Structures are given as structure tokens and as C-alpha cells.
Amino acid sequence: MKVTRRDLFVWGAGAAAGLVFTPVPWKLLDDVSIWTQNWPWIPQPPRGPVEVKQSFCSLCPQGCALKVKTAGGWPVGIAGTSTNPLTRGALCPLAFGAHQLNWHPQRVRTVRHNGVPSSWSDARAAFAKACSEGPVVIIDGQPGRAASTVLASFAEKHNGSYRVEMSPETRALMPFESWTGVSAFSLGYDLENAYTIVSFGAPLLDGWGVPGRFTRLWAERAAGRSDPQLRLIQIEDSLSHTASRAWKWVNIRPGSESAMAAGLARALIEEKLVSARGPMPVITISAAASQSGISESALGELARTIVARPPVLAIASNHNPEIAALNVVLGAVGAHGGVVRRSKRTGKYIPAEAQIPNARAVLIDSSVPWDFAPDSNAEIFRFVAWDGGLQKCDWLLPAAGFLEELTDIPNAPTSAVETYAIAPQLSKPQFEIQSAAQFLVSVDPTLPTVEKVIHSRCEELFHQRAGTVYGQEVTGVAKFDSAQKLEAELEKASTWVGDPPPPGELRCELREWPPTMIAESSQNWASTWNAPVLPPLATKLYRESSLREAPGRRTV
Amino acid sequence: MSARYGMVIDLDRCTGCGACMMACAAENNVPPLPQASARTGLTPLLVRKVSNGLEGSDRREVFIPILCMHCEYDTPCVHVCPQQAVEVDKATGIVMQMPQRCLGCRYCMTACPYHARYFNWWDPAWPKGMEKSLNPGVATRMRGVVEKCNLCHARLHAAKEKAAAAGKREIDPADYVPACVEACPARAIRFGNLADPKDPVAQESQSQDAFRLLAKLGTEPKIYYKSKEPWVQAMAEPNSGPIVEAKHV
Amino acid sequence: MFPGVDGFHWTAGHIIFLCLFFAVVLTIALTVISAMRRTIGDFRSHRAIDLCWHADFADLPATDRRCRHELAGRVISRICPNAFDCRNCDKYSEFAVLPAKGMTHDLGLNYSSDRFYHRAHTWVKPEEDGTVTIGLDEFADHLIGRPDSVKLPGIGSEIDLNQSAWQMKKNGKEISVRAPIEGTVIAVGGPKENWYLKLRPRMDVRDPKTLRHLLRGPEVYGWLSRELERLQLQLGAPDAAPTLADGGMLMPNLMDTVPRADWNTVLADTFLEV
Amino acid sequence: MSSTVLTDSRWIARGAERTSFSRFLAWLAPWSAMLTLGVYAAFLCLYRGLNQTNMDNRFAFGLWIFLDLGIIALGAGAFFTGFLVYILKRAELRPILNTAVVVGFICYSGAVAILMIDVGQPLRAWFTFWHPNTHSMLTEVTFCISCYLLVLCLEYIPILLRNRQLRRLPSFLVFEHQLHNLVPVLAGIGTFLSFFHQGSLGGLYGVLRGRPFAFRHGFFIWPSTFFLFILSAIATGPSFLMLVTATVEKVTGKQLVPQDVFRRLGFISGILLGIYVAAKSIDTLIWLNFTSPAEGFAPWTYYIHKPFGTPVLFAEIVLFGLIPAFLLLYRKTAAHRGWLFSAAALACIGVLMNRFVLTVQTLALPTLPFDDFLTYTPSWQEVASFGGVIAYGVIVYSLSYRYLSLFPQPKGEDAHVPRS
């Protein structure tokens, strides 16, 4: 038969009508809809196998244990290691965004000489020349690491000097160093056994010490109103996070912490609330009360409250002899639940001063907080991963960022026991970086490398046969049959914890009441770590919540 | 059996450190946009600082983490969405938001009494190279859609896969913990299955000093708060007591 | 909602809702479709032309839609209810018998009684052989004078009543002349011949009903006088003199002599353009 | 050549006097400028995203939603007049039918345009037809508004096709004729659709359980606002038509419709407004005394935040509700043109105020005990696109008025009387 155009038309129309009753057009439309739902041009996460690894955070001296999720070799998520005895799985807020820091716009990507891009060889030549011409000062922010050993021995061999920029927590312990002769780096607080903690503006719940230690302790023993086993008394000039959560907040005038401490000491002694006899503070109770802006009766009441539940421990936010002296009056030094000595080591360090006279060169390790600004006409070699700006340094040398190098984690300041751990590298460096230690080794090859030092430290630990290793399971060091085994275990980011020293072997006598010092303002998460920048997420969240104002760091 | 996931947040334990917010933002690939403000930002979990309104030594402050309350009954946002981009997962009780289907009409945001829903006012963007640090488990969202807390659904998904790989039908509760719960250093946020009477969190949610925000709206939120402080408990109901959000000065 | 769409589950609400929705959409669609189909139908069955004229007629101003009997003065006031189609107007015979109140004074225009006039100023002259001749009446002639161009239909082409029979151009103005009667063109003339078309009408001209819709006798005068009044108003006072000389003589070739007038309106009114 | 070179007289219906083309262009110029700015602002919002607006996570709806609700309420005159003329056969309202259709068309097309900018993902608008959530008032609104806009287009076509030039194409004229015969069907459909979406727009806020200021109980699935919106819309729609027509009469200096049409419209408006005010008052009392307290919100807390004090409530119900209703119904004032139109204006302000309170105050008020009262100022982009819609309306109406016959030509009397 002959097919007319009409037939074709009818057939087409029929086909179209019939098609509607098949899933085909609907499915097509739905696929179109799904396609329109995806925007290919917006950033997408990396592909690659997801693994979970262990390491430690080296962005501040606390060195918290991290559980790091990696994808395609890049860290993509941070969490705490719950098996770690010190952190118990807790971290500070910044740690959760730390893995993004390596891509921070302010990352130092190349060697820079007075702002101009330069090369490592030039820097090395310049430093070698400086060493040959005069004394060098090497500043470390975190002594006790393998890298510190390298820095110190370089200073020793090239008639330089090795100084340490200490954390506020350590500075608060310095008075005891001068009174007891024990290095502040071997002292700590026995928080776990204290029943009353008097904090003079120390941000105990807001960036002080290892978050997993005190925050956890407080949450378990003090939070809420149910007959607190641990009383946190916050003496501070403002309602800080710690103050708002404390069992009691004593609202004092700014800068009157010292007077308050002295006043309390006097009240304790006058009212015979303490057995320990010590030199009487020069300040009168009324003077202390008027200076700190609370009534005399309130001060007396406070003194009684403090000693109501011993053991009592007073904590300063920074170097403050009078608060330290209050501890002596309270008999907290060397006592159960007080200031304790955690190790036999007697490594004393010279604190770094901003003024550095007659030095030819100053080398600043990346562990030194950016805020430390040497005021010197020496040639400054600064190792840093992020450029905080606003600082004069002749050489800006790109150091490892977050988890970009192998390092070891010594004691956290204020910890009551001795610890040691190794933080493996988990993130591949994106450009040519060097740590100060590596740099010095390249200048003087006779120096031991970081790896060597770590190795010898492990052997030392093995031969001491003391302490316990906390990894997947808990093992006494004695159980290890070789130093290699121990090192291998530690390289899996396990933590060695020393045996707690017997109490009462720390003696402290006060000859006269120390002079008054104006305490420095307290810190918080945002100001206690080395990096001059915050994780972009932290900046964002501080800006978008009323928790606190975004800190005065450079922000993305 | 179907679970009803929920939380009990112990406000007496919260130190306002913000770790939960950080962990949440990192887990869910929230872009750190510099142009965002407190009113246009993306904070699926937002810790708010609230005071008792007094001044001087009598002033008290408390930190309240606000997230999607996963309302159980007559869920406001689910009912209003014109194109089924929001729904309550029958098996888990989680209120799910599907950004790929969201029209961006923001009707759900006006419906939510807790302001726990957020709109992507900008295209997501990260500093150069930083996308390498994003969480592969969670897709980034595009501009113009609404998002909110889905109790880290990606983690639930992973837990299910793990259980399936092991040939189990039920997931191991230890495998499914939202990022904020995992991150809280004070263990103030606790997560569990409210439908399981043996679950400690379910029991805690029934305790004396546990309460829910705006409970009288009758939407049965599954996020509980608890505190021993009377003035904090008073916040369960609006218009009671001089409670004001502390402005940072 | 449809096969293969993920994440969709049916509820009673959907069924009710979608039924309503599709009912609405269907009704709207059907309305449009049926309107289209009727339109096509109208064109098939030549009703379209008639419809257009009715639509136009409906939009003519009332003054143009007076009944012929009012023009003749048989009734006081009446608007034509069926588009000048007196052939099947039930009232026609009823009024036609009434005496005309004649105003038959001469208007200075030649309107012979053997011609039938259409309101769009054309005349029809029945011939013995059953054909008809069509031309422009004096009034229109005087307005236009000699047109610049004339576009006449081809021989054998059909023209419809009240539809455009031929077009003219003058001073850039389009003029479309409505046909006074329907039929087939058998010859074409022009301005010189004083007639424009010869038609073979569809109906027999000897049947009086065939030309009944056209004006005759007294109706013509009534109508013309109104047209002249209108024209006078439209051309305005200053130009009145040349327009209507004493005794109301209409001057020839007005479009050239009175250029400033609103000729769009004048022509539209004259040729029943909507 | 008498006529100027630049003229559009061939497009203007014969016998309708219109101002000169140049003056018309001069009139259009400022509006076109306004429209252009609006279009540019809209482009910015679509291209750069809604960060161009000042809306935020708590003020998720802003000026635009108020605009949508407002003009759709005022546009209700279109469907209601159609309903009165075609369904209830009130022929005396026929003279304003065309203008009603054009006004409706403008309002709805404008609203839809703004909605398309307002959503974050306009390209996904069709998902609503694809994954509809039948529980959502917004779904209902989307369906009805899109369908009704289609209906309005169909009602607009006949008016358009009667244009002097377009009608020359016989097919157009015949199609117009046939479509016009079917308009009653469309009017019916339009009534049905409008009834629902006017209501659903009210339901939009009434169902917000989480916003006790807006939440209302109701009948079946519809909160009371559903019915209040329908009432207020059909009450003020005619008033708005009166205002528009009167304004056009002022501008053109012609009497376009017989005056009794106004009185008739005013009367209808008045009756419905009266009913609305009564219903609204009862609803408010129930809400203040039962609904809101049951949700744990003491009603007085809604009115402690200035400027949204109780005067607003009073103004909405009495000043812009009861008083205009009275003025429209009381014979003396209704007969007086000035009173009539000021009453109509009051009624329109009233409905706009109602929409404003429901959209803006609801979002400004705190819900959580530690929330605070928020304010929001629209960005220039929002205001510009708002103005763009208004300019669009004026332009479309001006064009329609000039080139289409919106109002009947003055016709002579149709009586026929034999002489003897």
C-alpha cells in the first residue's frame, strides 16, 4: 500500500501519545532534573583511599594526640585519640581545623630575604657567614625535643647561646624553680588530687594546659552544682569563659591578682587557717581588699572558703611570685594535689629576652610563637610556616606546617608525670621546607640529626626500664625486649608515660615575701599556640557566633 | 527496629570552647567565607552565650549549643517544603535535608522556631588548594540552597556499610557518633537512641533537670538540654525571666 | 511522582491534589484547543468573513450603526441590530411601510435613484444582463479626488460583502473600500471610467431581496446629510468655506486642498474602518 | 502631509482620543528607566546570588514576599470581577472587566517574576511539579498561581487581538471571537484557582507552628488565615480596581465608566470588608486568648517591640478595616466621590498592612527565649526590583490603555420607537 504524508503524520502523533505511557520520557526528565541538581564547578573533596592514622599536634607545647583521617595522602579530618592517657580523646577547638592550615594563604612558601624571594643555599651561606663573624643566639619555643637538642648543641659548638621562649604555664612555675632549684620544666601541677583550685585569671577551661586533662577533670568532678568534689574558684577581672563556669567567680579589679594573692596569704596566716609558717606579706588585708575592689569581710570569707576543702592549689596565669608564694603558704608545694616534681631531669634554660645585645645573628625556631619579636640589630633567621606579618626579620625560612615533618613530643608543661612521644609525618610537604634543626645540620654536618636523637632517646628510655607505653594496648617498658621494638611502638604514635615520682621530695622555703609583679592578661585557645594564623574555620566561627570576638590574628 | 536518635546536652558541662562547632564545620565541609556575618553565616551547630541578665558579680553565663532539634511530631520544616527536599527518616528519626532538590525558597527557615537552618548565600569557596583538606564523605553544597545539621548522616552511612560488610543488620552504636559529640572535650554533648529505654542517653533525657527548648510548641524536639541551674532551666519556656544573649563587646 | 523518580511516595493527598491540578490544566488546554478548532471550522465554512464583519460592526461607533429607517426618518432612533444585513432583518418590512419624513433637498451631489448605496460610500448599479457595476460615490470622490494608485482584484476573483473590495493610496494614506455586494469579478475599471468593478453577483439581482441591504431614496439623503455634517466638523471651522460652499457644495479633491485635517480619522469614518 | 512622521495613530482604536505619541513616550520614559534599573538589579541577584539582598538566615523572607502577597491580594479584583460578571451575571460590572483582567495580569506576572528572583535556585522551580509535597501551602500556591497566570494570559489575548491593526488579520479576529465565547469557562477556572491560592498564601504563614505570632488553628487542613486572606483579597480587589480606574480617569481627564459602577464596586467592597473585619476580630481574639498561650507565648510579648506595638493591630483592624467598610456602606459617604475613593484607598492600605505584619513582623519577633528582636533594611537591589515591578505594571497598563480598548466606547441609546 502507498504511505501518504497523512499516514506518517497520524503514525507520528500516535507514537508520541503512546510514548507518554512508557517510563521513557519520565525517566529522561528525572535524569535531567538530577543533572541540573549537580554543579560540577563547585569545589569537591579529594578522591582516594580513606585511612585513619595517629600522630600528635605540634602547634603548641601541649602536644595533644590526634586521630587523623587522610584521603589520597592528605589529612581530611582531625579527632582526639581516646586511648591517650593525657588527652583522653579531647582536643582544643583549633585542632579540628588545623589540617586546613597547610593551605592557608599566609603560608610561607619560599625562602624570603628582606621580603624578596631567595633560596635555601643563599640562606645557608648567609647563616654560615654570620656564625663565622660573631656569636649567634638560637631561640627555641619548646625545649626537650630532639630538634631542641640539635639547636642547643649547635649553639654550644659555635660559641652561640641557646635561649628558650617559655609558655605562660611554664612561666607561672618559674618562681618555684628559683626557690626549689628544680627546673620549671620538671615541675607540674597534681590537678587530679587537688580538691580546691584557686585560679588567678588562668584560663583553666579556655586554653590552659592539655584540654583533655583539666577540662575533662572539671567536667567529671566539678560541673554542675551537685556537691562539687573539685571546687574551681576563679579570681579574675572579667567574666571569662572559665569564670562563668567556675564554682565561684571573684570579680576583682584588673591587675590586682598579686595583691589578692598576698591578701589571701595574710588572711590565712593571721586567721591561723594554715599550719605552714612563712614570711608575712607586706600588704595589709585592708589594702589588698581595697586594691582588688572587694570588701575585707569578703576577702576573709574567701580565705576560709579556699581552705575549706584541701588539698588546695593556686594557679597563676603567668609568671607571678606572689601567687607562687601563696602556694607555699598553703603548703601546696611538693604536696599531694599541689605543685609536684615530675622528673629527675634538671635541665634549666635561660629565658629568651626580647633584647638581644651583641649577637651577630639570631635564629628563631618555628616553635617560638610569632608574637616573640626580638629587638636586636642582629641578622634574624626566622623559621616559620605562616607569616603573621608586622615583624622585622631578615630571613623568613619556610618551616614545616601541620604534620609535615617527623618530630617528637616532650612533656606537656604542667603535667604531673613525664611523657614522651613521636609524631610521625602525615602530610606531604607542598614545597621546599626545612626545620631549623635540618637547616643547622646542613650547615654543620657533624651535628646529630633529629632521627638520631630520637633513636638515642628511645634507647635511653629502654635502658631505664621505667614507665609504661600507651598504644592500642598498654605495655610496661620492661615488657619490651629491645630498644628497636620500643621505638617501633612509639613511631606508631604511642605515648610513653613515666612512673609518678614519690611525693614530698620537693622542698621549698621562702626567706622573704617576694616583690609584687603585675600579671600579664590571660590567654585563650586563640592566643596560646605558635602559629600566627588561625584555621580559617575558627576565624569564621568566632565571627559568626557570640562565643568570643575573632582574635587579632590575620584572618582569611 | 527503628531508632530515634537524639541528644542530651549538659549545659553545666559546656565550657563554650567551640570545639563542637569546629568539628561540625570540618566534618560537613562548611566553607570559611570571609564575607559571611553572624546573620548570613553557615553554622549548622551554633554555640550561643546566654546570660542571666544581671551585672557585676551576680552575672552568670551559660553556653547553649543550638542545632537542628530533629522535631519528631508535625515537623515544621518538613510540612512546608514544596518539593519534598526535607523529610524525617523513618528508620532514624533524623530530619534530612536534600540540598540537591532544594529550591532555595527558604520557607523552611521561616518555619523553624530554633533558627537552626542556614541558607547558602554565596558560592562555596576555599583558599587555593584547601579543597584537598575537605571531608570526602560529605558533598559540598552549592549556592542558593538551605542546609542544616543532619546528625552527621555520612557517619551513619559509613557505620551501616561497616555493619553490612560484617554481615550485621544493626550498626554498632560506637561506630555512629556525630562529630560534635566526638569533639566535646567536656563530654557535655551525649548522643544516643531515645527509643531504646536501656540507652543511658534516653534515660538521662527523662531526668529531673532535663528540658527542651520551646517544648510547648508541641513539635517534640529530640535534642534535650539539662542543667541544675534554675535560671537556665527557665529557658525551656520563653518570656520567663530576663534572659538575654550576651553581646560581645 | 512518575515512574522512575526516586524518593517519591504516593499519598492520598497526591491523588486528590494531582487530579485537581490536571483537571484544571486539561480544562484550560481544551478551552484553547476548541477555540482553535472552531476558528478553523469558521474558515472552512466561510463564516469567518461574516464573523469578522460582525466583530468590526460591533466596534463601530453608534453614529455609524444607525438603522436605515432612522436615516429615512421612519423611526426616531434605532441602532441596526444585525450588521446592516437588511436581507434577513425581521423588522425591515415592518418599518419599510412607514412614510419617510423626506428631506430630499439637493445636496449638490449627484446621487441617482437607479443606484443603490452602501454605507462605506460605494454604489451598486444593476445591469440588464444580471451583472452589477460598482463604484465610489460622489462624497468619496470629492474627498479623494484622483488616487495615487489603485489596487483592483483580478478578473474571476470572488469578493465578499462588507469585506475589502479594492485598495487605493492617496498622499500615503491606505484606503480600503468595503464591497457593497458579493460576487465574482468579471471586469475592472478605475477612477477614469468612474466605475471600479463589474461583478456577477452570487444572487439574482432581479430579486429585490438581493439589494435590500443597500440604501435608496430618502435614506440616502438622511445618511449623506449626516456624513456632510460630520465632515464639516472634522475639517474644522477655518476650512469650512472651501469644504462646503454656499448651499453646502462639497469642493472636489479635498485631501489636497485641506491637507492639515486629520485624514486618518476622516477616511476611517468615511470607509467604516474600525 | 498633515500627520507628523512619528505617529502611532494607525494603532489606536478609531474614535478613541489619545494624547500625542511624543507625549506618550515622555510619559513612558521615567517608568522605562525605573524598569531598566529593576531588571539590572534582578540580574545581579540571579547572577551573583541572593547575597545581593539584605535578607539573612533569620530574615529569610523580606520585601519581596511582602510585595508578592500584597500585589496578589490587590490583583484579586481580576478573578472576582470575572466571577461577578460571568458566573453571577452582574452585567453592570462589564465596563471594568477588561481593566480588571489587565490589572490582574500585571499583578500576577509581576509576582511570579519576583518569586523567580527570590528563590535561590530558579532553575529548579519545576521540581515543585516534579516532587510535589502536597502538605505544603507553597505547593498549592505554586500550582494555582502558575495556572492562573496562564488563564489571565488567555483572558488577555481577546483584548489584545481587538487592537486596530491586529484585527486586520481575519484569523486573529475570529480566534478572538471564539475565545471570547469561552471566557466564562476561564472565568470559572480562574475563580477556582484564585480562591485556593489566595487562601494558601494566607495558609503560608498560618501553618507555621514554630512561629506562634502567625500560627492559627482552622478547619480541616486550612488555618483560619486561609479564609481571612480570601476574604480580604476579594474585599479589597474591587477597591483597587476603583482606584486604578479613577486614577486613569484623572490622568486622561475622561469619564471612562458610568459612575454607578464605582458605587456598585464600593458597595461590594464594603460588604466583604465588613465581613472580613468581623472574622478577623474574632480570629484575633481566639489567637490572643487560646492559640498563642497554648504554645507558651504570652500575647503581650508580641507587642513590646517597637514599632510593632498594639497601635499596629488597631490600625490594621479598625483604622484600615472597620472605618473604610463603614464609609463604603454608609449611603451619604458612598455617594460622595471623595469619601468613596479615600475609603477604597484605606481598604487597600489595610490589606497591604495585613500582609506586611504577617510577613515581616512574624520574622522580626523572637522565638527562642534568648533571641532578640531583629530588624532588616532591604538592599537597593531589592528595592530596585520592587520598583521595577511597579514600573512594569504602569508601562503595561499604559500600553494596554493606549492601544487596546479597555473601556467601552460611549454608545448611543438603543431604543427604537416608531414615529406614529
| CATH code of residue C137 | 2.40.50.100
Pick among D119, D128, D130, D368 to test the A interface (most A CBs inside 10 A): D130
Residue C152 lies in a domain: yes
Kindly state whether C2 is in contact with chain A, defined as any CB-CB distance less than 8 angstroms. yes
- Answer for the pair A532, A103: CB distance below 8 angstroms, yes or no: no
More confident of the two residues A1 and B44: B44
Using an 8 Å CB-CB cutoff, list chain B residues near C8. 84
Q: What is the mean pLDDT of residues C125-150?
A: 88
Kindly state whether B96 is in contact with chain C, defined as any CB-CB distance less than 8 angstroms. no
More confident of the two residues D131 and A313: A313
- The answer to whether residue C164 scores a pLDDT higher than 50 is yes
Using an 8 Å CB-CB cutoff, list chain C residues near D1. 171-172, 259
Residue C150 lies in a domain: yes
pLDDT of residue B1: 55
pLDDT band at A28 (very low <50, low <70, confident <90, very high): confident
pLDDT band at D415 (very low <50, low <70, confident <90, very high): very low
Closest-CA residue in chain A for B31?
A: A537
Query: Domain ranges in chain D?
Result: 55-368
For D280-327, the pLDDT digits (tens) are 999 999 999 999 988 888 888 888 888 888 899 999 999 999 999 999
Kindly state whether A547 is in contact with chain B, defined as any CB-CB distance less than 8 angstroms. yes
More confident of the two residues A428 and A24: A428
pLDDT of residue C13: 79
Using an 8 Å CB-CB cutoff, list chain A residues near C5. 26, 30
pLDDT of residue A520: 65
State how far residue A544 is from chain B, nearest Cα, in angstroms. Answer: 4
pLDDT of residue B24: 96
More confident of the two residues A393 and A139: A139
Burial class (CB in 10 A: 0-12, 13-18, 19+), A429: middle
Is there a contact between B105 and D119 if contact means CB atoms under 8 Å apart?
yes
pLDDT band at D335 (very low <50, low <70, confident <90, very high): confident
pLDDT of residue A163: 93
- The answer to whether residue D413 scores a pLDDT higher than 60 is no
Per residue, the 3-state secondary structure of A240-269, as one string, reads: CHHHHHCCEEEECCCCCHHHHHHHHHHHHH
pLDDT of residue A551: 52
pLDDT of residue D409: 64
Between the CA atoms of C195, C198, C203 and C209, what dihedral angle is there, to the nearest 10 degrees?
A: 10
Per residue, the 3-state secondary structure of chain D, as one string, reads: CCCCCCCCHHHCCCCCCCCCHHHHHHHHHHHHHHHHHHHHHHHHHHHHCHHHCCCCCCCCCCHHHHHHHHHHHHCHHHHHHHHHHHHCCCHHHHHHHHHHHHHHHHHHHHHHHHHHHHCCCHHHCCHHHHCCCCCCHHHHHHHHHHHHHHHHHHHHHHHHHCCCCHHHCHHHHHHHHHHHHHHHHHHHHHHHHHHHHHHHHHHHHHCCCCCCCCCCCEECCEEHHHHHHHHHHHHHHHHHHHHHHHHHHHHHCCCCCCHHHHHHHHHHHHHHHHHHHHHHHHHHHHHHHHHHHHCCCCHHHHHCCCCCCHHHHHHHHHHHHHHHHHHHHCHHHHHCHHHHHHHHHHHHHHHHHHHHHHHHHHHHCCCCCCCCCCCCCCCHHHHHHHHHHHHHHHHHHHHHHHHCCCCCCCCCCCCCCECC
Q: What is the mean pLDDT of residues D329-344?
A: 90
Residue C83 lies in a domain: yes
Residue C230 lies in a domain: yes
Kindly state whether B174 is in contact with chain A, defined as any CB-CB distance less than 8 angstroms. no
Touching partners of A (3+ C-beta pairs < 8 Å)? B, C, D
Is there a contact between A544 and B41 if contact means CB atoms under 8 Å apart?
yes
More confident of the two residues C218 and D317: D317
List CB contacts of D333: < 8 A, sequence separation 6 or more. D326, D327, D339, D340, D343
User: Taking all residues of chain D, what is their mean pLDDT, rounded to a whole number?
Assistant: 88
pLDDT band at A159 (very low <50, low <70, confident <90, very high): confident
Q: What is the mean pLDDT of residues A355-368?
A: 88
Residue C35 lies in a domain: no
Kindly state whether A554 is in contact with chain B, defined as any CB-CB distance less than 8 angstroms. no
Closest-CA residue in chain B for D132?
A: B83
State how far residue D343 is from chain A, nearest Cα, in angstroms. Answer: 48
For B206-227, the pLDDT digits (tens) are 998 899 999 989 999 999 999 9
For B154-186, the pLDDT digits (tens) are 999 999 999 999 999 889 999 999 999 999 999
Is there a contact between B98 and C8 if contact means CB atoms under 8 Å apart?
no
Closest-CA residue in chain D for C44?
A: D171
Q: Measured between alpha carbons, how far is residue C230 from residues A466, C63, C201, C240, C264 in Å?
A: 125, 10, 32, 12, 14
User: Taking all residues of chain C, what is their mean pLDDT, rounded to a whole number?
Assistant: 82
pLDDT of residue D320: 93
Pick among A32, A69, A76 to test the B interface (most B CBs inside 10 A): A76
- The answer to whether residue C228 scores a pLDDT higher than 70 is yes
Closest-CA residue in chain A for B30?
A: A537
Closest-CA residue in chain C for B86?
A: C7
Q: What is the mean pLDDT of residues B133-154?
A: 93
Closest-CA residue in chain A for B54?
A: A239
Is there a contact between A215 and B23 if contact means CB atoms under 8 Å apart?
no
Specify the range with the lowest mean pLDDT, choosing from C12-21, C116-125, D382-391: C12-21
Q: Which of residues 36-95 of A touch D (CB under 8 A)?
A: 36-37
Q: What is the mean pLDDT of residues A431-446?
A: 93
Kindly state whether D152 is in contact with chain C, defined as any CB-CB distance less than 8 angstroms. no
Is there a contact between D124 and A29 if contact means CB atoms under 8 Å apart?
no
Using an 8 Å CB-CB cutoff, list chain D residues near C18. 132
Q: What is the mean pLDDT of residues A15-42?
A: 79
Using an 8 Å CB-CB cutoff, list chain C residues near B98. 7
Closest-CA residue in chain A for C2?
A: A26
pLDDT of residue A72: 87
Homologous superfamily (CATH) for D55-368 = Formate dehydrogenase/DMSO reductase domain (1.20.1630.10)
For A448-491, the pLDDT digits (tens) are 999 999 999 999 999 988 899 998 889 999 899 899 999 999 99
**Hey, what domains does chain A have and what are their CATH numbers?**
5-36 (no CATH), 45-162+359-410+418-493+535-556 (3.40.50), 169-342+505-523 (3.40.228.10)
pLDDT band at D417 (very low <50, low <70, confident <90, very high): very low
pLDDT of residue B243: 47
For A304-322, the pLDDT digits (tens) are 999 999 899 999 988 899 9
State how far residue D150 is from chain B, nearest Cα, in angstroms. Answer: 21
Specify the range with the lowest mean pLDDT, choosing from A381-395, C81-95, C115-129: C81-95
Is there a contact between A30 and D130 if contact means CB atoms under 8 Å apart?
yes
**Hey, what domains does chain B have and what are their CATH numbers?**
5-245 (3.30.70.20)
pLDDT band at D334 (very low <50, low <70, confident <90, very high): confident
For D178-213, the pLDDT digits (tens) are 888 888 888 889 888 888 889 999 999 999 999 999
Closest-CA residue in chain C for A22?
A: C3
How many domains, chain C?
A: 1
List CB contacts of A57: < 8 A, sequence separation 6 or more. A63, A64, A65, A66, A91, A95, A98, A402, A423
- The answer to whether residue C240 scores a pLDDT higher than 60 is no
Q: Which of residues 24-83 of A touch C (CB under 8 A)?
A: 26-27, 29-30
Residue C5 lies in a domain: no
Global confidence as pTM: 0.88
Kindly state whether D311 is in contact with chain C, defined as any CB-CB distance less than 8 angstroms. no
pLDDT band at D26 (very low <50, low <70, confident <90, very high): very high
Using an 8 Å CB-CB cutoff, list chain B residues near A430. 129
Using an 8 Å CB-CB cutoff, list chain C residues near A27. 3-4
- The answer to whether residue A554 scores a pLDDT higher than 90 is no
User: Taking all residues of chain B, what is their mean pLDDT, rounded to a whole number?
Assistant: 90
Q: Which of B83, B119, B216 sits opposite D57 (nearest CB)?
A: B119
Rounded to an integer, what distance in angstroms lies between the CA atom of residue A552 and that of residue C189? 99
- The answer to whether residue A226 scores a pLDDT higher than 90 is no
Closest to B15 in 3D by CA, of D9, A207, D345 = A207
State how far residue C4 is from chain A, nearest Cα, in angstroms. Answer: 5
The domain of C136 spans 50-270
pLDDT of residue C241: 46
Specify the range with the lowest mean pLDDT, choosing from B137-146, C95-104, C134-143, D284-293: C95-104
Closest-CA residue in chain A for B122?
A: A42
Using an 8 Å CB-CB cutoff, list chain C residues near D176. 55
- The answer to whether residue A521 scores a pLDDT higher than 70 is no
Looking at residue C192, what DSSP letter applies?
Answer: T
Q: Which of residues 4-43 of D touch C (CB under 8 A)?
A: 9-10, 13-15
Kindly state whether A297 is in contact with chain B, defined as any CB-CB distance less than 8 angstroms. no
> Of all residues in chain B, what percent carry a pLDDT higher than 90?
75
How many contacts (CB atoms, under 8 Å) link A and D? 9
Q: What is the mean pLDDT of residues C161-173?
A: 87
Sheet (strand B61-66) strand order: B61-66, B46-51, B244-245
Touching partners of B (3+ C-beta pairs < 8 Å)? A, C, D
pLDDT of residue C246: 46
- The answer to whether residue C187 scores a pLDDT higher than 70 is yes
Kindly state whether C97 is in contact with chain A, defined as any CB-CB distance less than 8 angstroms. no
